[in-house]
Amino acid sequence: MILPLPRYDREIQVAIASVQAAAQLCEAVRRDRSSQSVQKADASPVTVADFGSQALICEALATAFPFDPIIAEEDASLLQQKAQSGVLEQILVYIREQLPQANTRKVINWINQGNGTIAPRYWTLDPIDGTKGFLRGDQYAIALALIEEGQVKLGILACPALPHPDGETGVLFVAQQGKGATMGQLNGCNPQFLKVRQTDTTRQLQAIESIESAHSDRDRQIALAAALGMTQSPLRMDSQAKYGVVARGDADFYLRIPLATQGDRKENIWDHAAGSIIVTEAGGTVTDLLGKPLDFSQSFKLTKNHGICASHGKFHSQILDAIASI
Ligand code: AMP
Ligand code: MG
């Protein structure tokens, strides 16, 4: 007997609306060049938009699903330092455009709703994936996913700067386990089902990689391209927009090969949850570099996985074998 798939209509509706609201806030911040960014303890940047996006999405999720933990990238402790009170005030101005009842205390609480821990059911959020791309004026994404029993059930990825094939700028990817992946305009109009592309030979494979050279081992990627006889140079893009590009058939695979200098670095769950289901529901394959499925049941890191390979599927094991041999 085949059991019907569970329905997630309300989750999809709330998740899409909140991600769209966050995308509006992020684009408003980007237009306002005077807005501030702050350095985190790991020296990576975080902006008014990262915090604002997280506050809006966490507020919406906590209202609709008060018992669901949210594991999100940012934390408000930085904002509670006196030196950052100007940043908090700026965030509040943007949030009030959408939630007029907001005040600084509420904003802090909404952001800190993202401090949840792993549970049988939880959400994971990257309020701005690719903050460096966001600051550079390049690609970035707002990535939200629902996880149940360690598996991604829903993925919503807004890419406000990604060209849509119909000529508009801004794309919304939505995927539900077992129900396919769609790509529409950022406002949700005109969603179309996605299908990864196929190539006849490994020579034709088109890779896509991060703009940041420290985020994957480029030397091994070059060696892999040579081993597979690939002829095209890799595309480069910030954020999980790369997963969307593979899902819509503009590239064949995306790798994250940990650099030898970074030891056994583990990936953050929010950097892969939404993107990975968009590729798998478009007919592709996503595993780690050892061929293991991504395990979202452990912690905010993919502690049981090593690296990432997201591909259109046909040559997935050949890519993994070649990586293992170089
Ligand atoms: P991308 O634009 O694909 O490079 O992805 C951006 C994400 O990379 C950020 O959200 C960070 O969480 C993550 N990141 C930061 N440092 C590293 C690193 N050394 N290796 C892999 N990913 C990283
Ligand atoms: Mg990220």
Please state the atom number of ligand 1 nearest to the C-alpha of residue 133: 2
DSSP 295: -
Do 206 and 300 fall within a single domain?
A: yes
In-domain check, residue 158: yes
> Relative to the CA of 240, which ligand 1 atom is closest?
3
Count helices and strands (H / E) in the chain.
9, 14
Six-digit token pair at 248? 């819509």
Q: What is the DSSP letter of 200?
A: S
- Considering 38-47, 78-87, 288-297, the range whose residues carry the highest mean pLDDT is 288-297
Co-location of 124 and 17 in the same domain:
yes
Domain carrying residue 268: 202-325
Q: Are residues 34 and 139 in the same domain?
A: yes
Q: Which ligand is nearest to the CA of 44?
A: 1
DSSP class per residue in 221-272? HHHHHHHTT--SPPEE--STHHHHHHHTTS-SEEEE---GGG-SPPPBGGGT
Q: Could you tell me if residue 2 is inside a domain? A: no
Locate tokens 């049981």: which residue?
A: 304
Q: Which two tokens stand for residue 199?
A: 């190539």
* Region 255-264 average pLDDT: 93
HSE at residue 214, side-chain half, CA atoms within 13 A, is 6
| Contact (CB, 8 A) for 239 and 141 | yes
Pocket test for ligand 1, best of 271, 289, 305 (most atoms within 8 A of CB): 271
DSSP string over 13-71: HHHHHHHHHHHHHHHHHHH-TT--EEE-TTS-EEEHHHHHHHHHHHHHHHHH-TTS-EE
Confidence tier at 160 by pLDDT (50, 70, 90): very high
What is the pLDDT of the chain when averaged over all its residues?
96
Radius of gyration of the chain (CA): 19
Provide the strand spans (E) within 177-213: 180-185, 192-193, 207-209
pLDDT at 179 over 90: yes
Q: What is the arithmetic mean of pLDDT over 252-275?
A: 96
| Atom of ligand 1 lying closest to residue 129 CA | 10
The residues carrying an active-site annotation are 50, 131
* Alpha carbons 273 and 268: distance in angstroms, whole number: 9
pLDDT of residue 1: 64
Residue 34 has pLDDT above 80, yes or no: no
| Residue 4 pLDDT grade (very low, low, confident, very high; cuts 50, 70, 90) | confident
The residue-averaged pLDDT of 93-114 equals 97
Compute, in angstroms, the gap from residue 146 CA to the centroid of ligand 1.
21
Residues 152 and 108 in one domain: yes
Q: Name the domain boundary from 161, 193, 225.
A: 193
The single-letter code of the amino acid at 97 is E
Q: Which residues line ligand 1 (CB under 6 A)?
A: 129-130, 210, 212, 214-215, 238-239, 256, 262, 265, 268, 271
Cα(213) to ligand 1 centroid in Å equals: 10
Q: How far is CA 313 from the centre of its chain?
A: 20
Task: Classify residue 133: in a domain, yes or no.
Answer: yes
Domain of residue 166, CATH code: 3.30.540.10
Are both 226 and 124 inside the same structural domain?
A: no
- Specify whether 176 is located in the same domain as 227: no
Final residue before a domain boundary, out of 162, 193, 224: 193
Asked whether residue 169 falls in the same domain as residue 253, the answer is no
> What's the whole-number mean pLDDT along residues 10-17?
98
Supply the residue whose CA is at minimum distance from atom 15 of ligand 1: 215
The answer on pLDDT for 6 being more than 90 is no
275 domain residue, yes or no = yes
Q: Are strands 308-311 and 285-287 parallel, antiparallel or unpaired?
A: antiparallel
pLDDT digits (tens, 9 = 90+) for 48-81: 999 999 999 999 999 999 999 999 999 999 998 8
Choosing from 124, 212, 267, 272 the residue with most ligand 1 atoms within 8 A of its CB, the one to mutate for a pocket test is 212
pTM: 0.97
Residue 234 is assigned to a structural domain of this protein: yes
DSSP state of 36: -
Residues 206 and 188 in one domain: no
Task: Please tell me whether residues 181 and 217 are part of one structural domain.
Answer: no
Least confident of 39-48, 171-180, 208-217, 228-237: 39-48
Distances (CA, A) of 145 to 69, 88, 176, 195, 284: 12, 26, 10, 20, 18
In a domain, 4, yes or no: no
190 — alpha (psi -120 to 50), left (phi > 0) or beta?
left
Are 207 and 296 within one domain? yes
Q: Is the CB of residue 141 less than 8 Å from the CB of residue 1?
A: no
Same domain, 129 and 168: yes
Domain final position from 193, 214, 247: 193
Q: What is the CATH number of the domain that holds 300?
A: 3.40.190.80
Question: Total domain count for the chain?
Answer: 2
How far apart (Å, rounded) are the C-alpha atoms in residues 112 and 219? 39
- Please tell me the residue having the least CA distance from ligand 1 atom 5: 239
Residues 98 and 209 in one domain: no
Quote the distance between the C-alpha of residue 32 and its chain's center.
Answer: 24
